[in-house]
Structure 1
Amino acid sequence: MLLTNRRHRFIFIFLAGMEVAWFLPFVLTLAAAWRPAMMHMNAATTQALDNLLGAPPAALVLLFWLTLLGYMLAADLLNQRLILSPQRELVLLALTLLTMLGSIRLTLYPTTSLWDLSWVGSAFGSVFNYTEGWRPELAMIIANAFLWWRVAMNSGRDLTFLSVGVSFRLGMLLALLGNGLLTGMAHQPPTQGVQYFWFFFGFGLAAIALVRIDDKAVVGDHSVGAILPWPRMGQILASVLAVLGLGAAATSIYNPTTIRTFLGWFAPLWSFIGAILLRLLAFLFWLISPLLEWFVAWMRDLLANAEFLQPQSQQPPADLSQQANQEFTSLAEMMSQWALLRYCMVTLVIVVAAAALWLFFVKTRQRQLADEAEEMTAGEIDLGGNLLQRGLDRLRDWAALWGRYGLSNQLLAAISIQNIYANLSRVARQRGYPRPLNQPPEQYLPMLTLAFPAQGERLARITNAYMRVHYGDLPVDEGELTQLRSDYQQILDAPENGEA
Structure 2
Amino acid sequence: MLLTNRRVSLVFFCLAGMEVAWFTPFWLLVYRPARASVGWAYLLLLAALVAWTLALELLSRTDLELGRYHLTALGLMAFTSLVLLGVALFWNHPSGDMRWLGPAFNALFVPQSGLPPALALVGGNLFLWQRATVATSRDVTFFGVGVNFRLGLLLLVVGGGIFSYVSGQNLTWLLWIYFTLGLLAVAIARIHEKAGDSQSAGTPLSGRRLGGLLVAVAATVGGVALLSGGYTAQAIWRALSITAPVWRLLRIVLVRVLIALEWLLEPILEWLLAWLQRIFAAGWIELAPQSPIVGAAEAQQMLTQENPSRFLELLRQAGIVLAIGAGVVLGVAILLLYLDKTRGRTVREQAEETEAEAVTFGSGILGRGAQALRDMAGLVRRFGVSRQLLAAVSVQNIYANLCRLARRRGYGRRPAQPPDDYLPTLARAFSGQEEALARITAAYMRVHYGERPVTFAELAQLRADYHQVRRAERSESAE
- Which TM-score tier does this pair reach, normalised by the shorter chain? 0.5 to 0.7
Q: Bigger CA drift: 232-241 or 150-159?
A: 232-241
Q: Is structure 2 residue 170 aligned with structure 1 residue 191?
A: yes
Residues 343-388 of structure 1: CA deviation (Å, up to 9, x unaligned): xxxxxxxxxxxxxxxxxxxx98885467588664498454885445
Q: Is the 8 A contact 2:30 2:117 kept in 1?
A: no
In structure 1, the partner of 2:24 is: 24
Preserved contact between residue 156 and residue 364 of structure 1 (Cα < 8 Å): no
Residues 386-412 of structure 1 show CA distances to partners (whole Å, capped at 9, x for unaligned) of 445666999xxxxxxxxxxxxxxxxxx
Partner of 1:128: 109
Shift of 1:256: 4.3
1:143-190, CA deviations, whole angstroms, 9 ceiling, x for partnerless residues? 101101101111211110000000000000001001101111xx4345
1:205 paired residue among 168, 178, 183? 183
State the Cα distance separating 1:56 from its structure 2 match: 4.0
Q: Who is 2:146 aligned against? A: 165
Match of 2:208 in 1: 231
The aligned counterpart of 2:52 is: 71
Check if 1:242 corresponds to 2:223: no
Paired position in structure 2 for 1:115: 96
Equivalent AA in structure 1 for residue 183 of structure 2: L
Confirm whether residue 174 of structure 1 aligns to residue 151 of structure 2. no
Secondary structure at the aligned position of 1:191 is classed as coil
Do the aligned partners of 1:161 and 1:215 also contact (CA within 8 Å) in 2?
yes
Q: Which residue of 1 aligns with 2:418?
A: none
Q: Does 1:98 align with 2:75?
A: no
User: For 2:462 and 2:147, how far apart are their aligned partners in 1?
Assistant: 44
Q: What stretches of structure 2 of length at least 5 have no aligned partner?
A: 252-395, 406-429, 445-453
Change (3 A) 1:245 1:97: same
Alignment check: 8 A CA contact 1:21 1:61 kept: yes
Is 1:126–1:134's contact at 8 Å kept on the other side of the alignment?
Answer: no
Q: Distance in 1 between matches of 2:194 and 2:59?
A: 31
Conservation of the 8 A alpha-carbon contact between 1:122 and 1:137: no
Give the aligned residue type for 1:20.
V
Which residue pairs with 2:347 in the alignment?
Answer: none
Cross-structure match for 1:458? none
In structure 2, do the counterparts of structure 1 residues 179 and 376 end up closer, same or farther at CA, with 3 Å as the change threshold?
Answer: closer
**1:123 and 1:138 in contact (8 A); partners too:** no
Helix, strand or coil at the partner of 2:31: helix
What's the offset of the Cα at 1:113?
1.2
Is the contact made by 1:2 and 1:13 (CA closer than 8 Å) also made in structure 2?
Answer: no
Cα distance in 2, alignment partners of residues 14 and 393 from structure 1: 33
RCO (CA 8 Å, sep 6+): is it higher in 1 or 2?
1
Instruction: Give the Å deviation of 1:231.
Output: 1.9
SS in 2 for 1:118: coil
CA distance in 2, matches of 1:210, 1:256: 38
**Which residue of 2 is the match for residue 489 of structure 1?**
none
Alignment identity in percent? 32
- Which consecutive segments of 4 or more residues in structure 1 shift more than 4 A? 259-266, 363-367, 369-385, 387-394, 422-426, 429-432
Alpha-carbon distance in 2 for matches of 1:256, 1:141:
45
Matched letter for residue 232 of structure 2: N
- Over 3 Å counting, the alpha-carbon distance change for 1:100 and 1:393 in structure 2 is closer
Once residues 463 and 21 of structure 2 are traced to their aligned partners in structure 1, the CA distance between those partners, rounded to angstroms, is 50
Aligned residues of 1:168 and 1:204 also touching (Cα < 8 A): yes
Residue in structure 1 matched with residue 196 of structure 2 by the alignment: 218
Paired position in structure 2 for 1:3: 3
* Change in 2 beyond 3 A, CA 1:431/1:9: farther
Matches within 5 A, 1:236-315: 236-259=213-236
* Per-residue deviation, 1:140: 0.4
C-alpha separation in 2, matches of 1:85 and 1:423: 16
What's the C-alpha RMSD, in Å, of the aligned pairs? 3.8
Structure 1 residues 95 and 166, CA, compared in 2 at 3 Å: closer, same or farther? same
In 1, Cα distance between the equivalents of 2:40 and 2:462?
A: 58
Larger-gyration structure (1/2): 2
> Which of 63, 68, 73 is the equivalent residue of 1:87?
68
Whether the 8 Å CA contact 1:5–1:431 is kept in 2: the answer is no
Evaluate the alpha carbon distance shift between residue 79 and residue 389 of structure 1 in structure 2; reply closer, same or farther with a 3 A threshold. closer
Give the alignment's TM-score, normalised by structure 2.
0.53
